[in-house]
Chains A and B, each alone.
Chain A
């Protein structure tokens, strides 16, 4: 149990385009999901909290108009990177809570050319 999936696992896009990343809790419901990004050789940085049926809460310094989050159901949250630029290239990871524990998806590696 407690499986979280992400799609796609890897994406390459051109500068200026938008990319959508999906995060699904496969065998449980999650009213809250979280999005993180990880640069090479660094730790995970929390970007935002995705709340089912309401607006996401963004960490300080994260542009909410650039990183659009939608949590339309209890098993799906999406992160859209709008007008992507090379500096947005990173590893994006989502998580969902079951009880007190967090379970993480396998991550999406975004490369913007």
Chain B
């Protein structure tokens, strides 16, 4: 099956700093989403981004499907950004999403 690796696994930032999270996948995908999992376990949709670049406030994402990676940028980080960030992909054979290994982000004041 498809392998989805995220880096770094853990990240500690000072409030106000910027960061880049990476998602590499091993096969062609037709869908890719980024999620933030809050401390209660709820997955919050951040971006649906099978290709191209999108921005939403302090967050932006870029997917280069031909090179099998996606990046999530967080600028001017806040303590409320803390949590685990997952990318998830769907292959061309179905709509099931396969999750990456996750990046645990801690933003300290």
Contact = CB atoms under 8 A, between A and B. Distances in A.
Given A38-B41, A46-B98, A100-B48, 19 more contacts: A32-B95, A34-B96, A36-B99, A43-B99, A43-B100, A43-B101, A43-B102, A44-B86, A46-B97, A46-B99, A93-B41, A100-B31, A101-B48, A102-B33, A102-B90, A102-B97, A104-B43, A106-B40, A107-B41
Interface of A: 32, 34, 36, 38, 43-46, 49, 91, 93, 95, 97, 100-104, 106-107, 109
B88 to A, nearest CB: 7
Contacts of A104: 35, 42-43, 45
Nearest to A99: B48
B96 A44 contact: no
A95 B94 CA distance: 14
Nearest to B31: A100
A102 B34 CA distance: 11
4 shortest interchain CB distances as A-B pairs = A104-B43, A107-B41, A44-B99, A101-B48
B95 A93 contact: no
B41 A49 contact: no
Interface residues of B, number: 22
Interface in B6-34: 31, 33
A101 B88 CA distance: 11
Given A43-B86, A44-B86, A103 B45 contact: yes
Contacts of A38: 41
B97 A34 contact: yes
Contacts of A106: 40-42
Given A32-B95, A44-B86, A101 B101 contact: no
A38 B35 CA distance: 15
Contacts of A32: 95
A107 B86 contact: no
